[in-house]
């Protein structure tokens, strides 16, 4: 007739969630597989149901079953509930079949009363600890079981601290705590009209009833309603023995990892302290001992721990972070959870666990945080040495890695010093394409303005070079040859160290460590290649960048920015001649000088890429970016070009724009100056024809299209030139013409545009700028405030804004594929290498992402994870 309402942990298993609740079933499972969790028992969810059916009282029968289980527990632990000399204390926790915030959570140390306290003090010899446990118990019980407001207990505690003039709880001694416990008891009596229950059995039954009650409190009901949780009987109650590591020299406590969390090596790694609580290990007052030494102190416990280590990994199939306690020689496991680890460790553990057949490849891929791979690809400041230094300033972590070098303010000087074998840090207010030579020469870049997608940041990431951007606590006095940071003046030539992963700037030199890519890393990447659907391309302007990306496994170039080729030596001169030209003929003459350079550059890229797709974007930036800004340079250029200085100034003035971002650039240049893209097309096609590579299909990309007519116009010019060259050569080479989707209007009219475009590439940098109306060069004035206030959760230039920009991407993908079902679609904005954005691109149905070379591995892993998630 009587139903079983109480299960010892040893009587259940993981399948009994409905009856024992999640927590109870889990404790039972652990007990079953042989993990020595402190023993205990679970009062079932059916008992909760019975409680409500029974006018909210626990039936005699259930009480009896609890009593039996408690007796069994006393026996197992070798101590007694309420026993003054050898007391058993328990924790009481709620636990429904689904986790449910809002219910009563936990009462610890139940079973304490003044007599037990005395006995425990004798046993542990630690008066303060016992009294503190006692006052905490009264407070917890008073709050969650008796329903006395938490703040009333807090005000007693605060009062005492004020009286004593101390700030922290830890500064209260045994006498203070004793007085607080007395006051707590008085408070309970005043509030409830009854003395605090000293009888442990009464405490236990009251706590069990309180857990049952909390099943139907307002918050729990609301939570079930909001989450549509139905069909549950009620909550279960878990009663578990408390164990203590500070019960003398045969007791102890420790923390360990089943593998080395720093390297991932498959070795047991941990620390412990004898006669101590968990807090003591963490607090750092006493120095913990290495786990291995436990073998000498308690061989049995140590061996047990070693076998548990294997048991846990076999069960949880991941590296575990374990808390254990030894109470009077006996080992208990208090907690186990997946352990935190470095990126290197994450990769090694994931790969080795597959080899050990603990997990499959997909699980391994999900175990590594894509963004963390950055750590593996760049120099790092030596972590040990770094601890001894304080950052002088912190900017934006614009491009990871570490850099040490001499401060230089000028790009050309940086180049010179680098030629002399010196390491330099290029420090600029912000950089422009003219600084390219200096960025290339420097170990690292530091700017006082500009965001994560400023010129310096984008170029540095492309080169895999360390960059700290927008560090506005630094003031640069270039003309006077120094910078100021926190009142310190640093002269040109002094040393700086940058941490691009954190944005920290250090005065002086700190040693760095080089990365080395492990075999496990390559293995993981090859697994990612097996499952991902997205192709991964790279943004590369030079054969060198392209080679780097190929090493990381890039499958093509998604964006070659042709303008980056125009800044060196003779090229910039011809470029400037082209810009100041007054007639089409003059312009064509200047362009003719640029043609061989461009052709040579494209030829280099095609050679390196060996027939893999290469997308080349036609000239994009406004022309004024190519002209000098300083008086002296202007004078020099006028002389060089042989024109009047005033005339050059007029031309520069005429090119000035209020909002260059929204001005005369992209295909707007190609439409007003068709001869520019004629030359570029010629360079691309001639270079491609010379490769004589059957697989080569150059992809020509028209930037900044907002209306299909723009694309039609440009396409007409490109085809005219390209077809003529191809047929003249008697070749049957194919080529593709596509467009960037970076203007909101292009996304909104994508169906029309797709009729003309053979591929789309989302330029999400510009698309983000225009969709938000944020100039990425100017967000410094308000974006930090926005992030601080929570107006925006993330910087949309780092992680793609899926709600706004993303909805334009989805609109464009749908409309584009409607017009051209096989339309090839990719992304070449900075987001192409950011994990959450890559996953979005996968979900939105893109064909590829393109990112800077050093982000290729990140994109690979993120896209593999997206593919795995999709199948779940």
Please list the active-site residues.
Answer: 455, 828
Find out whether 538 and 545 touch, Cβ atoms under 8 Å. Answer: yes
Under rule CB under 8 A, residue 484 binds its own copies: no
Q: Which of the stretches 67-75, 385-393, 676-684, 699-707 binds its own copies when contact is defined by CB under 8 A?
A: 699-707
Among 707, 755, 843, 847, binds its own copies (CB under 8 A): 707
Please tell me whether residue 710 binds its own copies under the rule CB under 8 A: yes
Torsion of CA 718, 721, 724, 730, to 10 degrees: -70
User: CA 808 → CA 150, 262, 709, 770, 862, distances in Å?
Assistant: 50, 42, 20, 11, 22
Residues 6+ apart with CB under 8 A from 574: 590, 591, 593, 594, 597
User: Pick from 131, 312, 574, 704: which binds its own copies (CB under 8 A)?
Assistant: 704
CB 725 → its own copies: shortest distance, Å?
Answer: 25
Q: State which of residues 308, 743, 825, 861 lies at the interface with its own copies (CB under 8 A).
A: 743
Q: Any residues with CB less than 8 A from the CB of 808 and at least 6 apart, and which?
A: 744, 747, 748, 767, 771
Does 435 interact with its own copies (rule: CB under 8 A)? no
Please give the structure tokens belonging to residue 694.
């059957």
Least distance to its own copies from the beta carbon of 744, Å?
4
- Nearest distance in Å: CB 802, its own copies: 11
Of residues 631, 724, 785, 814, which one binds its own copies by CB under 8 A?
Answer: 785
Q: Which CB sits closer to its own copies, 19 or 743?
A: 743
Of 583 and 781, which CB lies nearer to its own copies in the complex structure? 781
Can you name the residues that pair with 81 across neighbouring β-strands? 88
Nearer to its own copies, 500 or 796 (CB): 796
Minimum distance from CB of 345 to its own copies (Å)? 37
Positions 611 through 670 that interact with its own copies (CB under 8 A): 657-664, 668
Contact yes or no for 861/365 (Cβ under 8 A): yes
Interface with its own copies, residue 805, by CB under 8 A: yes
CB of 792 to its own copies, least distance (A): 6
Q: Give residue 697's region: left, alpha or beta (phi > 0; psi -120 to 50).
A: beta
Using DSSP bridges, classify how beta strands 736-741 and 488-491 pair: parallel, antiparallel or unpaired: unpaired
- If one asks whether residue 101 binds its own copies (CB under 8 A), the answer comes out as no
Residue of 106, 804, 836, 845 that binds its own copies (CB under 8 A): 804
| H or E segment and range at residue 535 | strand 535-539
| Given 189, 709, 724, 814, the residue binding its own copies (CB under 8 A) | 709
Question: By three-state DSSP, how is residue 85 classified?
Answer: coil
- Residue among 95, 339, 744, 833 that touches its own copies (CB under 8 A): 744
Q: How far is the C-alpha of 19 from the C-alpha of 367, rounded, in Å?
A: 32
Using an 8 Å Cβ cutoff, are 555 and 535 in contact?
yes
Report CA-CA distances (Å) from 337 to 29, 254, 269, 317, 326.
Answer: 15, 14, 15, 11, 19
Burial status of residue 562 (CB atoms within 10 A of its CB: 0-12, 13-18, 19 or more):
buried
792 binds its own copies (CB under 8 A): yes
DSSP state of 832: G
Parallel, antiparallel, or unpaired: how do β-strands 396-399 and 466-469 relate? antiparallel
CA pair distance 264, 743, nearest whole angstrom: 46
Q: Is 226 an interacting residue with respect to its own copies (CB under 8 A)?
A: no
Contact 21, 95 (CB under 8 A): yes
Q: Does 786 bind its own copies (CB under 8 A)?
A: yes
Q: Is position 671 an interface residue for its own copies (rule: CB under 8 A)?
A: yes
- CA angle at residue 74 from 70 to 76, to 5 degrees? 110
Among the listed residues 173, 328, 777, 843, the single contact to its own copies using CB under 8 A: 777
Number of shown-chain residues binding its own copies (CB under 8 A): 47
Least separation in angstroms between CB 827 and its own copies: 18
Contact range with its own copies by CB under 8 A, out of 288-296, 345-353, 549-557, 769-777: 769-777
Of residues 745 through 764, those in contact with its own copies by CB under 8 A are 745, 748-749
CB of 617 to its own copies, least distance (A): 16
Residue 126 vs residues 111, 136, 277: alpha-carbon distances, Å: 18, 16, 11
- Please pick, from the candidates 194, 516, 583, 781, the single residue that binds its own copies as defined by CB under 8 A: 781
Least distance from its own copies to the Cβ atom of residue 793, Å: 9
For position 772 contacting its own copies by CB under 8 A, the verdict is: yes
Member of 271, 410, 693, 778 binding its own copies (CB under 8 A): 778
**Separation CA 232–CA 19 (nearest Å):** 9
Distance from chain centroid for Cα 2:
54
Q: Does 115 bind its own copies (CB under 8 A)?
A: no
CA gap 706, 718 in Å, rounded: 18
Element housing 662 (H / E): none
Q: Which is nearer to its own copies, 517 or 748 (CB)?
A: 748
Q: Establish if 706 lies at the interface with its own copies (CB under 8 A).
A: yes
Supply the minimum distance, in Å, between the C-beta of residue 661 and its own copies: 4
Judged by the rule CB under 8 A, the positions of this chain that interact with its own copies are 657-664, 668, 671-672, 704, 706-707, 709-710, 713, 742-745, 748-749, 766, 769-775, 777-778, 781-782, 785-786, 789-792, 801, 803-805, 807-808
């Amino acid at each position: 007739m009587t139903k079983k309402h109480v299960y010892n942990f040893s009587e259940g298993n993981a399948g009994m969630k409905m009856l024992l609740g999640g927590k109870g079933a889990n404790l039972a499972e652990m007990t079953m597989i042989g993990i020595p969790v402190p023993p205990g028992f679970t009062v079932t969810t059916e008992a909760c149901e019975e409680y409500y059916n029974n006018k909210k009282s626990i039936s005699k029968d259930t009480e009896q079953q609890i009593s039996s289980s408690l007796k069994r527990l006393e026996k197992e632990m070798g101590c007694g509930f309420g026993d003054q000399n050898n007391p058993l204390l328990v924790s009481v926790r709620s636990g429904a079949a689904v986790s449910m915030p809002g219910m009563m959570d936990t009462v610890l140390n139940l079973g304490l009363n003044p007599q037990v306290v005395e006995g425990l003090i004798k046993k542990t010899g630690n008066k303060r600890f016992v009294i503190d446990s006692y006052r905490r118990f009264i407070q917890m019980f008073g709050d969650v079981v008796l329903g006395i407001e938490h703040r009333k207990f807090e005000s007693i505690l605060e009062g005492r601290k004020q009286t004593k003039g101390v700030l922290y709880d830890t500064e209260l001694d045994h006498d203070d705590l004793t007085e607080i416990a007395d006051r707590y008891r008085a408070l309970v009596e005043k509030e409830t009209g009854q003395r605090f229950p000293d009888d442990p059995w009464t405490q236990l039954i009251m706590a069990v009833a309180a857990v049952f009650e909390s099943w139907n409190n307002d918050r729990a009901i609301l939570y079930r309603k909001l989450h549509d949780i139905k069909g549950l009987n009620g909550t279960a109650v878990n009663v578990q023995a408390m164990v203590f590591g500070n019960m003398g020299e045969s007791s102890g406590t420790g923390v360990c990892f089943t593998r080395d969390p720093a390297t991932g090596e498959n070795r047991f790694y941990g620390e412990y302290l004898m006669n101590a609580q968990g807090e003591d290990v963490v607090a750092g007052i006493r120095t913990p001992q290495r786990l291995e030494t436990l073998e000498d102190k308690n061989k049995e416990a140590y061996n047990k721990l070693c076998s548990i280590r294997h048991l846990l990994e076999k069960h949880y199939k991941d590296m575990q972070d374990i808390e254990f306690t030894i109470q009077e020689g006996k080992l208990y496991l208090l907690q186990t959870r997946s352990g935190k680890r470095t990126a290197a460790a994450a990769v090694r553990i994931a790969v080795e666990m597959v080899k050990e057949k603990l997990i499959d490849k997909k699980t391994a891929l999900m175990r590594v945080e894509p963004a963390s791979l950055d750590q593996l690809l760049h120099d790092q400041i030596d972590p040990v040495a770094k601890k001894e230094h304080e950052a002088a300033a912190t900017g934006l972590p614009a491009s990871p890695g570490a850099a040490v070098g001499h401060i230089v303010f000028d790009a050309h000087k940086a180049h010179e010093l680098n030629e002399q074998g010196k390491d330099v840090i290029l420090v600029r207010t912000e950089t422009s394409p003219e600084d390219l030579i200096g960025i290339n020469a420097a170990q690292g870049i530091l700017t006082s303005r500009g965001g994560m997608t400023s010129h310096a940041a984008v170029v540095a990431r492309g080169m895999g070079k360390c960059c700290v951007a927008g560090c506005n606590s630094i003031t640069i006095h270039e003309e006077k040859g120094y910078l100021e940071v926190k009142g310190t003046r640093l002269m040109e030539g002094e040393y700086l160290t940058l941490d691009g992963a954190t944005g920290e700037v250090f005065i002086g030199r700190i040693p760095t460590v080089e990365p080395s890519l492990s075999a496990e890393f390559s293995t993981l990447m090859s697994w990612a290649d097996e499952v991902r659907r997205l192709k991964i391309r790279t943004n590369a302007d030079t054969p060198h960048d392209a080679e780097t990306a190929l090493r990381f496994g890039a499958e093509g170039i998604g964006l070659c920015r042709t303008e980056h080729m125009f800044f060196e030596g003779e090229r910039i001169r011809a470029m400037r001649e082209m810009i100041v030209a007054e007639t089409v003929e003059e312009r064509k003459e200047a362009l003719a000088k640029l043609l061989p350079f461009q052709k040579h550059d494209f030829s280099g890229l095609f050679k390196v890429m060996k027939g893999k797709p290469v997308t080349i974007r036609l000239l994009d930036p406004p022309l004024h970016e190519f002209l000098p800004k300083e008086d002296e340079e202007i004078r020099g250029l006028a002389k060089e070009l042989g024109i009047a200085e005033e005339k050059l100034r007029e031309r520069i003035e005429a090119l000035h724009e209020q909002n260059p971002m929204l001005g005369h650039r992209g295909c707007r240049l190609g439409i007003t100056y068709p001869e520019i893209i004629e030359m570029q097309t010629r360079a691309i096609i001639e270079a491609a024809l010379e490769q004589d590579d059957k697989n080569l299909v150059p992809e020509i990309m028209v930037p900044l299209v907002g209306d299909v007519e723009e694309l039609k116009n440009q396409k007409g010019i490109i085809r005219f030139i390209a077809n003529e060259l191809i047929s003249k050569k008697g070749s049957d080479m194919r080529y593709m013409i596509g467009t960037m989707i970076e203007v909101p209007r292009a996304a909104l009219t994508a169906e029309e545009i797709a009729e003309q475009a053979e591929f789309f590439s989302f330029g999400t940098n510009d698309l983000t700028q225009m969709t938000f109306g944020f100039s990425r060069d100017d967000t410094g004035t308000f974006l930090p405030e926005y992030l601080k206030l929570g107006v925006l959760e993330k910087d949309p230039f780092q992680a793609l804004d899926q709600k706004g920009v993303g909805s334009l991407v989805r609109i464009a993908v749908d409309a584009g594929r409607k017009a051209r079902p096989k339309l090839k679609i990719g992304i070449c904005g900075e987001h192409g290498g950011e994990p959450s954005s890559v996953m979005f691109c996968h979900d939105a149905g893109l064909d590829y992402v393109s990112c800077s070379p050093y982000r290729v591995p990140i994109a690979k892993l993120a896209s593999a994870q997206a593919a795995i998630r999709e199948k779940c």
